[in-house]
Structure formats: C-alpha cells, structure tokens
Amino acid sequence: MELKRVVVTGLGALSPLGNNVADTWEAAKRGESGAAPITHFDASKFKTQFACEVKGYDPAAHFDRRQMRQLDLYAMYALTAAEEAVKDSGILAEGVDRNRVGVIFAAGIGGLHTFEEEAGYFALHGAEQGPKYNPFFIPKMIADIAAGHISMQYEFRGPNYATVSACASSNNALIDAFNMIRLGYADAIVAGGAEAAVFPAGVGGFNSMKALSIRNDEPQTASRPFSGSRDGFVIGEGAAALILEELEHAKARGAKIYAEVAGGGMSADAYHITATHPEGLGAKLVMQNALKDAGMKPEDIDYINLHGTSTPVGDRSEAKAIVDVFGPHAYEMNLSSTKSMTGHLLGAAGALEAVLSIKTINDGIIPPTINHEEGDIDPEVDQKLNFTFNKAVKKDVKTVLSNTFGFGGHNAAIILKKYEG
C-alpha cells in the first residue's frame, strides 16, 4: 500500500506569548518570557506563585453565556485555537467532504478547574446537602470533550478522539492524525492540544513533587533549561491546533502549504512514573523511530525543538540521547527549548512547539533558549551542544525534529520538513 503524503495547511495558537500564531511567533523570535505572577487564583500561600498564563483572553469575546456554562477553560482554549487554524486553512470551503475531516485533540489533564470546583463544593457542603453536582460536571471535565466540541462546531464527522499521554499528548495527536491521513482514513484532521491547569490543584500538585521552580522573585527568568541554576519547570497553559491534510486534497482546493509531516516516532521509558531514564533510553529510541519512519538519516535534521523543561534529570537525559543518536552531527545542529519562553503547556506542549517549528522552517529563524547566564550551563550536559542561548539565530532550516516526553514514560517525536512539491 502506497502511503499518502501529509501536509500542514492551517495553524492556530493561544499561548502565554500571544493570543494567535503571529503574536506568539513574534514574541518567541524576540526571546520574551511569558512568566508572571499567577492571576487565576490567590497563590500567595503556594511555594510557586507564578506561571505562564494566557494573557488578555476574554472568553465572553468568543462564547455566549450558555456556552461558557458548558465549557471548561481548557476547552475554550482548544476551540479558540482551532478556530484560527480552521479559518487559516480554508478547510470549510465548498466541496470539502466533512465526513472525511476529523478531529484528534489532546489534553494531558483536561478540565482540572471544573473537577476542582465540583469536588471542592461537595467537600464543603456534601455532608449537609448530599450529592449536588452540576449536570455539566462530567462533560466539562473529561479530556476528550474538546475534540467533541470542535467536531460539533464545524460538523467534522471523521475520526474523533483525544490522546492522553501526559506531556506527550499533543505530539501523539499529531502522529495519530498523520497516520490516519496517510493510510487513507481521512482527508484532513484538526490536531493539537489544550491545557488549563494553572489552578490550586495543578500548582499544588506539582509543588508537592518539587517539580516546579520556586523563583518567585524573578519569575520571568525561572524557566532556564540546561542551566546549572535551574530549579524546576514553569507551568504554562493554552492551546495550539494544526490542520493536517492529504497533499493531493490540499493541492486540489488550492490550499497554502506550510510544511510537510515527514514522520513520527513513539516509545516508552519503561522506567519510572515521573522521571525520564537517566541514560535517555526512551528518548534515544523515540528519535530513532521518528527518523526511521521519515526515511531520514541523523544528518538530515537541521534543528531540534527540545522537550527541555528546565528540570535536571529531564534535561540531562535528553541531551545525552541526542549525542547518542546524532553523533558528530549533534554538534552541528541548533537545539533550543521554547519552553524557556512559553513555560510547559503539559498536554498542549507538543502542538505549540510544532507550530513554532513550522514557523522556524518558514521564516528561517531558530527561536532561542532564554534565561541563560554565562558559565551557568549544567556541568552534566555536553558543553559542546548548541542550545541557541538567549538570541534567535537566522538559518536555513529544512527539517525539524520536535521532542515531547511525559509522566509515565511516554515519548513522542515528530519530524516536520519544508514542503518542496
């Protein structure tokens, strides 16, 4: 069976750097930080009091009162990013068979705020009143509901589901969409991820694991992947959406093409519930699998958008895996962690980083790993690797590999390349 080629024809983003793709990309090129004191709740008693929140977003500008009662914030983010991508792609054009347009949209956690509110209300009042839950509790909370809402919004009746693999979730969504299309099960798919976990349960839960930075006096410099002084990741929120489409279908309707999806890889660390394998075994395998799927050699990759969360064990294992997989070419590539700017969007991270990777290909600009101080690189990380510290770099980029690794040992990597006909 001959596999079909898959391209990207639409992009959407709602991130800590901007409320659309253009603003997000401009801020990333400038090396801006999206970190600031938390506004979603009073975090004054928490160890971590800052996050990379979406800023200036008014749900009422996108949804009516009825919709807002039915949607968790994570689903609002998903629908907003999907709207930008759908409009950008022109996939609603007359003649497109919506029975063959699907939605695969990820969340690592889903409606955490809704769960927190409902469980908290029952804890306070349940003994007196008995169980008294909002009828929208379950359909607001579940991690698949964003995919369902997107399909209903646009009457897309193709494959429809969510992928949940912690921080690898939206890369898994992209890979699943890629496979669905190249195997002929759909003509196009809205793929991406959304997350809105900057609430007490999310921040408190990660604090209890000692996973988050507590640099409360300098939040904008807290996410500093591969630096020796890093003290944890910065939680972020938002959503990103991509329209993946079969090449001939896209060409037939005259769609603009941003990039081609070359391949995807998946693996498991099979090691620990939260820590990556210290030797980077799962990270090594997932990159090898992605290269094999794409039919590429290590030297074909120009740039890696790193998982790079700003945690010691994660950064070290990823860097080691890159050296093991790419050998001498590891020192010729640019690497960077855009999480230094966006924070870690958990289940939405891979989708946002795919959008940034595509913009890198289109514009020939590699976004930086910010917040690095001279001489502060982790001594256990190979010092010769080029992490593109602090300033964006102009470079012709034809291929990008983007890594995501999640709690539970889930790994997913996707390769995107310049479309050349």
Give the residues across from 102 on adjacent strands.
189
Residues making up the chain, counted from first to last: 421
Distances (CA, A) of 173 to 99, 205, 242, 244, 264: 19, 25, 10, 11, 11
Q: Which of 52, 113, 149, 167 is catalytic?
A: 167
Contact 186, 99 (CB under 8 A): no
Catalytic (active site) residue 344: yes
Nearest alpha-carbon partner for 215 in 49, 387, 33: 49
Among this protein's residues, is 307 annotated catalytic? yes
User: Please, is 386 exposed, middle or buried when counting C-beta atoms within 10 Å of its C-beta (0-12, 13-18, 19+)?
Assistant: middle
Return the closest-CA partner of residue 353 out of 316, 404, 317, 318. 404
What is the rounded radius of gyration, in angstroms, for the C-alpha atoms of the chain?
A: 20
Q: Are 412 and 350 in contact (CB under 8 A)?
A: yes
Is residue 235 a contact partner of residue 51, using CB atoms and an 8 Å limit? yes
What is the CA angle 406-16-213, rounded to 5?
Answer: 55
272 classed as catalytic: no
Q: Are 402 and 339 in contact (CB under 8 A)?
A: no
Q: Strand 160-161 and strand 50-51: pairing? A: unpaired
The residues carrying an active-site annotation are: 167, 307, 344
